[in-house]
């Protein structure tokens, strides 16, 4: 069960980074928008869970920078996060791009 939970967390982190790397979003998003995006992949996660994933991406691998805005947490992608999505380097704890989502 722990392997599955780790796989889900790593997959969600990749989805978050890919979403942030989308040119239409200009490199930033927030927990509300990410919650709606994750539902497209059948992940029904709380905003608190998503916030914790954003904080993990910031603290553990430097893939995003976060900022609290009222009840939401927003994030912008960093060079490290973009490099992961574009396959220039791989971040530990984030599913590799090209792996099944």
Please tell me whether residue 64 adopts helix, strand or coil conformation.
Answer: strand
pTM attached to this predicted model: 0.92
The DSSP output letter for 11 is H
CATH code 2.160.10.10 for 2-85 = no
Which of 87, 98, 85, 25 is CA-nearest to residue 57? Answer: 85
Query: Taking the domains of the chain in order of start, what are their residue ranges?
Result: 2-85
Q: Give the bridge partners for 12, in sequence order.
A: none
Residue 89 confidence (pLDDT)? 94
pLDDT tens-place values along the chain, 101 residues long: 789 999 999 999 999 999 999 988 788 899 999 999 999 999 999 999 999 999 999 999 999 999 998 889 999 999 999 999 999 999 999 999 985 44
Strand order of the sheet with strand 72-77?
Answer: 28-30, 72-77, 64-69
What's the chain's Rg over C-alpha atoms?
Answer: 12
Report how far Cα 18 is from the mean position of its chain's Cα atoms. Answer: 7
Residue 82 confidence (pLDDT)? 95
Residue 84 CB: number of other CB atoms within 10 A? 26
């Amino acid at each position: 069960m722990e392997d599955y939970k780790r796989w889900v967390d790593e997959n969600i982190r990749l989805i978050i980074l890919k979403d942030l790397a989308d040119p239409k979003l200009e490199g930033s998003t927030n927990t509300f928008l990410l919650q709606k995006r994750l539902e497209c992949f059948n992940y029904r996660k709380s905003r608190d869970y998503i916030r914790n994933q954003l904080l993990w991406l910031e603290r553990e691998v430097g893939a995003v920078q976060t900022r609290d805005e009222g009840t939401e947490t927003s994030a912008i992608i960093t060079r490290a996060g973009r490099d992961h999505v574009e396959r220039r380097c791989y971040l530990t704890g984030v599913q590799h791009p090209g792996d099944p989502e």
